[in-house]
Structure 1
Amino acid sequence: MKPSKLEILAYEDTSLGPLCLRRRELLSEPGTIVTEVTLNHEFLMSSYNTDSEREISSRAIFHHGGSGLSALIGGLGLGYTAAEMLRHDQVESVEVVEFLQPVIDWMNDGLVPLSSTISGDERLIVTRGDVYGRLMDPPGTLFDVIVIDVDHSPADTLDENEHPFYTGPGLAKAKQHLRPGGVLAVWSYAQSSSFSSNLENAFTRVSVEPITTENKMVGHQQTDWLFFASDPADLEAPQQR
């Protein structure tokens, strides 16, 4: 069997473990080149299948239903969540908070597929920081949409410790960063009944939506889970900006 072409684009030691950006040709689809990220020697994300990353942005906008939207995204990754958010005319501004500086550098240095697509959009601001820490602090700027695409799931976090964000009190704090009628969206590779319950205790409307795609890299279907929460009754309240 012909070996795949593998190129290491960047390798950095971080507080979460070794972080690697690589590009390779798929053995299953010769000629198809994908960009991948590993963290602590474990697969994290790929440019090959990005349906759920894009869907969480488009569906969050749909759930809100408004225009002139201000969005906060936790996690830059390969940029697909942010790029989809910026694709919609209803979105006025997007701030992405990324914990790892190398990930921001990859985008700025043109190492990832969407670098040129999103870096030139004047609506985008990328900030280095801890989005969870920010959401646990008292609110400053308020947002219409907050998208969290950071951890594998509420029970499988990158730092291997449950973050208070996923708890009832944590979600109540995060909710304070939303404008009236705002939508909180969270990505996960697994369903979580406990997280759904915590959302239902903090918000009046919760929607859990599976995204199933055929993952040819592993030869079977893959289902990711998108959690959306809002208080639709607040839509009748005056919008404070």
Structure 2
Amino acid sequence: MGRRFEELDWSETPIGAISLRRRLDPTLDVDVYEVKLDDEYLMSSLFTVAEVELARLGLAELPEVGLDVVVGGLGLGYTAAAVLDDQRVRSLTVVEALGEVISWHRRGMLPMAGRITGDPRSRLVQGDFFAMVNDPAGLDPQLPDRRFHAILVDIDHTPRHVLHPRHAAFYTPAGLRRLAAQLRPGGVFALWSDAAPDEQFTAMLEEVFVAVRAHVVRFDNCLTGGEAANTVYVASR
């Protein structure tokens, strides 16, 4: 175990001050890794069930082997690691806007870091995912116009509660069509959300994709002693 509390890193970024903290939870007797943006909590290693389910539910829709996958948003790395656990995956491109977050993984500061950086199928790319979706070159700077079997996104809190106003345009039919154009025929877009299923957003997905599901992912909340839930949207082209 580490110290009771330690701030591992802190940096100013274009979207605010980001910090990585590690604390010992005295009840569970585990080290907990937390990321904050200014005074807002972004993620915690206590709650990773839905991040793993984002990968599992998204890839479960695909029958192929030799899958090429994009993850938008690296964070603590649980979605990326779950993608790599699927042996059908041929390549994983993780797009992360903040170099600080990529550095945490490359420096081995997080529990999932070695699984991601040590896998030859995996590549970390620093870039604005939303800007890259709009760029004709696409999501792989090395291979313009590349198409993927799956694009899994965990960046904003919800389609309505975004980290930066410029992200909002992505959660519209026009933005989703630009995303869909970067998928192979039959490809899958999956999105994590911290809120209950949003009927308006589901309807937007149905304008663009042929099959849409909103999965409610329930998990125990060890802090409250109750149950919590997130949503994973899965949409097939």
Q: TM-score, normalised by structure 1?
A: 0.91
User: Could you tell me the percent identity over the aligned residues?
Assistant: 37
Higher deviation after alignment, 101-110 or 134-143: 134-143
Counterpart of 1:20 in structure 2 is 19
Counterpart for residue 100 of structure 1: 98
Amino acid at match of 2:185: P
1:209 equivalenced with 2:215 (yes/no): yes
- How many corresponding residue pairs? 227
Aligned twin of 2:59:
61
Secondary structure in 2 matching 1:156: coil
Cα deviation, residue 14, structure 1: 0.8
Deviations 1:96-142 (A, max 9, x none): 00001100000011111111111110000100001111112234110
Listed one character per residue, the Cα deviations across residues 54-90 of structure 1 (whole Å, up to 9, x for unaligned) are 1111111111222110001100001100000001111
Q: Structure 2 CA distance, aligned partners of 1:49 and 1:188?
A: 13
Amino acid at match of 1:5: R
Q: Structure 2: which 5+ runs fail to align? A: 139-144
Coordinate RMSD, CA, aligned:
1.3
Q: CA separation in 2, counterparts of 1:8 and 1:99? A: 21
- Residues 17 and 218 from structure 1, CA distance in 2 versus in 1: closer, same or farther, beyond 3 angstroms? farther
What CA distance in whole angstroms lies between the structure 2 residues aligned with 1:208 and 1:90? 24
SS at match of 1:163: helix
Partner of 2:164: 159
Find the counterpart in structure 1 of residue 236 from structure 2: 230
Spell out, residue by residue over 1:163-191, the C-alpha distance to the aligned partner (whole angstroms, 9 max, x if none): 21110011111100000110000100112
> Which residue does 2:181 correspond to in 1?
176
Give the residue type in structure 2 aligned to 1:155: R
TM-score, with normalisation over the residues of structure 2? 0.92
CA contact (8 A) 2:68 2:148 kept: yes
Over 3 Å counting, the alpha-carbon distance change for 1:218 and 1:38 in structure 2 is farther
Aligned-partner Cα distance in 2 for 1:26–1:161:
36
Give 5+ residue unaligned stretches, structure 1: 232-241
* Partner AA of 1:222 in structure 2: A
